[in-house]
Amino acid sequence: MSDILLQLSGVHTHIGPYHILQGVDLSVQRGQLTMLLGRNGAGKSTTLRTIMGLWHASAGSITLDQTSITHMSTADIAVQGITYVPENMGIFSDLSVRENMLLAARSGPIDQQRLDWIFSLFPALQQFWQKPAGKLSGGQKQMVAISRAIIEKRHLYMFDEPSKGLAPVMVNSMISALRELKKEGASILLVEQNLAVAQALGDQVAVMDSGKILHHGSMQELTDNPELQQQLLGLNLDLNLGLNVGSATGAHA
């Protein structure tokens, strides 16, 4: 069995007249969390949406576990075992939290043991279990979105900027949840602008700019190299954002 779960090779994506992805080569290894970093407009969200079949690649190939998903529909890609939390969270506002979770449990009734595990990650989830999801705060909605994504085990979990707009205490809860997911051996592709989150969680990192991958390597390599950070991102990862994130090495423990 290959160590690579997801592989993008020479992927191009056009949206109308715009050529967004311009030959993306990206891999996600089994059981690891791969960070996808880059400036706004670099093509990160388009990469996730192309993997999910929401936009179709105009050239190149995408394989999951050595099976081509390049031309599959979004529904068929989901059946292959990929779950995706978009930047807008993708929850059903008019439904209760419970109903949102029931819809996410594709294989049947919610597994109670799995649900209890999620409640241990997000204890507040039980407090608004019967409330309409649209009435929740931004942090609570993100809690629901992540919980929906992990209610069943998947081959690959993809999250698009899950910490965006969240208070530090909520970001810490999210980091803890993703660390627990990693302990399960999950494979995760995470788009982030919060570099403290990237440093805390990442095993591998890919840096995008102008629709291309400029760098792919270990998160530790990028963390330890301020010159590389400056070259690729125009800044460095030695940031104090008020988060209790620990170190990248600690995140792997």
Is pTM, for the whole model, over 0.75? yes
pLDDT at 209 over 70: yes
User: Do both 231 and 243 map to the same domain?
Assistant: yes
User: Do both 140 and 169 map to the same domain?
Assistant: no
Q: Do the beta carbons of residue 158 and residue 189 sit within 8 Å?
A: yes
Q: Do the beta carbons of residue 60 and residue 12 sit within 8 Å?
A: yes
pLDDT at 159 over 90: yes
Residue 87 within any structural domain of the chain: no
User: Do both 124 and 221 map to the same domain?
Assistant: no
Provide the strand spans (E) within the chain: 4-15, 18-29, 33-38, 59-64, 67-68, 82-85, 156-160, 188-191, 204-209, 212-218
Q: Specify the residue for token string 């403290």.
A: 196
| Candidate from 73-77, 104-108, 118-122, 154-158 with smallest mean pLDDT | 104-108
User: Do both 149 and 159 map to the same domain?
Assistant: no
User: Do both 189 and 100 map to the same domain?
Assistant: no
Q: Give how far Cα 129 sits from Cα of 95, 102, 115, 135, 176, Å.
A: 11, 11, 12, 12, 21
Encoding tokens for residue 30? 């089994």
Residues with Cβ within 8 Å of residue 108, at least 6 apart in sequence: none
User: Do both 174 and 56 map to the same domain?
Assistant: yes
Residue 139 within any structural domain of the chain: yes
Residue 86 within any structural domain of the chain: no
pLDDT at 108 over 80: no
pLDDT tens readout for residues 114-146: 999 999 988 889 999 999 999 998 889 988 999
User: What range does the domain containing 117 cover?
Assistant: 92-153
User: CA–CA separation, 208 vs 82, rounded Å?
Assistant: 22
pLDDT at 82 over 70: yes
User: Do both 77 and 98 map to the same domain?
Assistant: no
Beta bridge partners of 24: 11
